[in-house]
Amino acid sequence: MSLRRTMPLNKPLTILFLVFVLFYCLCIPPEVQAADLMAMETTEVKVIYPSSLRGAAREVLSMYPQVKREVEAFFQWQLMQSPTIVLAIPGDRDAVRSKGDLVVGYAVPQRHLVVIFYTKTKASPRDVEVVLKHELCHLIVHEHIDQELLPRWLDEGLCQVVSGVAGEIGVQEEKSLLELFRRSGGVISLNSLTHRFPTEANRLLLAYAESKAFVTYLIDQFGKETVLSVLDEMKRGCSMEAAMRNTTDHSLRDLEKTWHRSVKARDTWLARLSYYLYEIIFGLGALICAYAFVRQMRARRAYKDAASRNDEDTS
């Protein structure tokens, strides 16, 4: 009987390897796991990137401290954990489509992770900065408020007010809220935006626009400090509805109704015409071209008829 002699395992190295594999599987999104990844790190943040985005990673690393300060200044909270930022190139269409074709970035607060699809941000440092700011807002809000207490519309509305854009769906020219109302078939109630947003493109854009508009309305009506007081109450475990009533003396439902009335008051006939300005211009242009074509055809026919009569007279 022969005995096989095995090499003893180096336990510290084995544990370290398993921790690395676990981090890779849990924290790195599937769309970038196949890439040749590299990392840069400071005491505040870690940036993971494919080798082709080394320059972009340096930009993110240099802009991060200022973006973090701006986010903390707005909320008057500190971002307590150091995030991991992944710069991804969306090569797998199925993986990207699972998040939506409009998506340029997203946050995973439970993992303190931000993913930015760098090539979909037009590769502009300014665009990357506002997307990063938007996603850091998600991280800081979820650090301080229990996810069960945080409505999706409030989360997205706050992040848009701070960053200026709907970061997840790209840095693009924002459409009028009223225009989106008309194109999407009417308003979406905030209650239906508590847990999730629609997946259809126009309704998704409307959900983001409504969230930003309502948070902006609250700030305009009651001031930024009142909105921050609502967040502080929620941080202490109060529901959003109760926090809103405690700080504004109004129920969320009443505030939403008042906001709807203020939006509808701006929905004039002139405003409605402006929603379809390009369609109207192109339609008028098409009519002018058709009129010019018909007129030219008539002129040619009249010329031919006149020429035929002249030929008959001479003969």
- Full DSSP string of 46-108: EEEEEGGGHHHHHHHHHHHHHHHHHHHHHHT----SPPEEEEE----HHHHHHH-TT-SEEEE
Q: What is the pLDDT of residue 274?
A: 53
Q: What is the pLDDT of residue 21?
A: 47
Closest CA to 75 of 151, 7, 139, 129: 139
Q: What is the pLDDT of residue 290?
A: 79
Token pair recorded at residue 198: 């629609």
Question: Rounded CA gap, 242 and 3, in Å?
Answer: 72
Per-residue DSSP letters for 212-241?
Answer: HHHHHHHHHHH-HHHHHHHHHHHHTT--HH
Q: What is the pLDDT of residue 51?
A: 92
Token pair recorded at residue 88: 């991804």
**Measured CA distances, 67 to 90, 166, 178 (Å):** 24, 16, 31
Beta bridge partners of 171: none
- Cα angle 8, 10, 16 (rounded to 5 degrees) comes to 150
What are the backbone angles phi and psi of residue 113, rounded to the nearest 5°? -125, 140
Q: What radius of gyration, in Å, describes the C-alpha atoms of the chain?
A: 29
Percent helix / strand / coil, the chain, rounded to 5: 65, 10, 25
* pTM for this model (two decimals): 0.71
Express each pLDDT in 144-177 by its tens digit. 999 999 999 999 999 999 998 765 655 444 556 6
Q: What is the pLDDT of residue 269?
A: 45
Which domains, ranges and CATH numbers included, belong to the chain?
25-253+266-282 (1.10.390.10)
Q: What is the pLDDT of residue 131?
A: 92
Q: What number of other Cβ atoms are within 10 A of residue 24's Cβ?
A: 12
Residue ranges in the chain modelled with pLDDT below 70: 1-35, 91-102, 122-125, 166-185, 266-280, 282, 305-307, 309-315
Mean pLDDT of the chain: 80
Question: Rounded CA gap, 164 and 124, in Å?
Answer: 16
